[in-house]
Amino acid sequence: MTNVSGGTLRRRPAQRRSLERVERMLDECARLLDEAGYEALTTKEVARRAEVPIGTFYQFFPDKQGLVRALALRNLEAFLGRITARLSAVQLSDWTEMVDLAIDEFVAMKRSTPGFAVVDFGEVLPSPGGPALKGTERMLDTALENNVIVADRLRAITIELLGAPIGPALDRALVVAVEAADAVLKLAFRSRPDGDPELIDECKRLVRRYLSEHLPQE
């Protein structure tokens, strides 16, 4: 089920039926983003396809932007969940494998998760690889850019699993790493609809080399 933060939904669903309705609306939002794009996405069509009254839609979401914001947060939670599941199933020989694993999971979601090619962690991409629609860089939080929030969530995993030193140097390094990976991966998906594999490899190499100065070595 969707893990939504305070302010993402107008009303937090308390019953199973309400939770299922919210998930259906998010599922249909994702499918419509792939089919028609963000500009053509309407609350009325999402409600129709999710088989919920339009009044029910507005009980949970204030508008289209609120719906997309909730989808972006669900995507982030799914991404972090995939990383955690992978890490629990493998034994890392060194920390660089986590970089590769995280990028591989992101690319896999770009290729297979409905709506993720248009809205991954908040930015709205009218075409593969961007540029993003102006004003969508703070979809998850009005005070912080999307990549800052992604970096902070990855920071928690990095500290817990890699024993990275806590402090502003690591915080800054992860923000830079996420920004750099975001830019190169956008280029990869502009070059090829399924992501240029050589550019994806270059992204891994770039992030590993940069973070090698900030994360502990085995």
**Tokens 């990549």 sit at which residue?**
147
Q: Could you tell me the two tokens for 203?
A: 């992204």
pLDDT tens per residue, range 160-206: 776 767 888 889 999 999 999 999 999 999 999 999 999 999 999 99
Q: Which fold has domain 78-211?
A: Tetracycline Repressor; domain 2 (1.10.357)
> Residue 45's pLDDT is what?
98
Backbone angles phi, psi at 164, to 5 degrees: -65, 145
Least confident of 13-17, 116-120, 131-135, 204-208: 13-17
Give the whole-angstrom CA distance, residue 54 versus residue 36: 20
Give the CA-trace dihedral at 189, 184, 83, 162, to 10 degrees: 170
Give the whole-angstrom CA distance, residue 195 versus residue 213: 28
> Residue 218's pLDDT is what?
52
Mean pLDDT on 97-108: 94
In the predicted model, is pLDDT for residue 90 greater than 90? no
Backbone angles phi, psi at 124, to 5 degrees: -100, 120
Q: Which fold has domain 10-62?
A: Arc Repressor Mutant, subunit A (1.10.10)
94 or 131: whose pLDDT is higher? Answer: 131
In the predicted model, is pLDDT for residue 9 greater than 80? no
**Tokens 């800054």 sit at which residue?**
172
Mean pLDDT on 94-100: 82
pLDDT tens per residue, range 11-33: 666 577 878 999 999 999 999 99
Q: Where are the domains of the chain?
A: 10-62, 78-211
Mean pLDDT on 141-154: 94
Give the whole-angstrom CA distance, residue 33 versus residue 40: 8
Least confident of 55-64, 92-101, 132-141: 92-101
Q: Tell me if 10-62 shares its fold with 78-211.
A: no
